[in-house]
Chains A and B, each alone.
Chain A
Amino acid sequence: MRIELTSVYVDDQDKAEKFYTEVLGFKKKNEVPMGDGARWLTMVSPEVPDGPELLLEPSGHPAVAPYRDALVNDGIPLAQFAVDDVNAEVERLRELGVRITQEPMEIAGVTFAVFDDTCGNLIQIIHQA
């Protein structure tokens, strides 16, 4: 068994595609029309082109909004990505207008921060020394 795909719900796939590629720097890997204007839309890290994919899934199901709102209210991230330098990444994202909800914090050799992906989720970035 392998983890090849994981997903986050996004409010707007077009906006999400823009944010995840232009701001976060991921690459679009798969795109399949799914009817009703929705797409099977996956992202991959350019650093690991054959690595796990992130599915940007439409958030239309009525259960999604209350679930996400409650998590965001408490500052709980829905996905975590690894970076080489959390502080530099946070500054880069802030320059691009991204809202940081948890400034970089280093505890026991682990640095992490949390930001808003503008599509309904909080995302944690982490670096383990």
Chain B
Amino acid sequence: MAEEPFKALADPTRRVILDELAERSGQTLFEICSRLVMKHGISMSRQAVSQHMAVLETAGLVESRREGRYKFHDLNTAPLEQITRRWLDPDRQESDE
């Protein structure tokens, strides 16, 4: 199993981003930044949030899609399902490390 999801989940800000995307999918970077500041008091630069998003995308936990001039982000729980299957349902485990 790839390392990336574990690394991505290690950071508390990235976990909050996933919480917010779980609450509402299809968010712009602006909306994600707004939620971090206003709901969680996490004020960091847009560039820092962008970097967190890149880590989450690399891990497959976030997918971005372009619609016209806008870019929206969605949660993808597939990597989490792989993680849980590994220990909760070892018989169905697809790949070993």
Contact = CB atoms under 8 A, between A and B. Distances in A.
Size bracket of the A interface: 10 to 19
| Residue of A69, A102, A107 with highest tally of chain B CB at under 10 A | A102
Contact of B39 (A75, A76, A107, A116): A107
Interface in A74-94: 74-77
> Chain B contact residues: over half helix, strand or loop, or mixed?
helix
B87 interface: no
Contact of B69 (A69, A102, A103, A108): A69
Contacts of B38: 107-108, 110
Nearest to A102: B31
A72 interface: yes
A103 B71 CA distance: 15
Interface of B: 24, 27-31, 34-35, 38-39, 46, 69-71
Interface of A: 69, 72-77, 101-103, 105, 107-108, 110, 112, 114, 116
The 8 closest A-B pairs by CB, nearest first: A75-B28, A75-B30, A107-B38, A74-B29, A72-B69, A76-B30, A102-B31, A73-B71
Given A77-B30, A108-B38, 17 more contacts: A72-B69, A73-B69, A74-B29, A74-B30, A74-B71, A75-B27, A75-B30, A101-B28, A102-B27, A102-B30, A102-B31, A105-B24, A105-B31, A107-B34, A114-B30, A116-B69, A116-B70
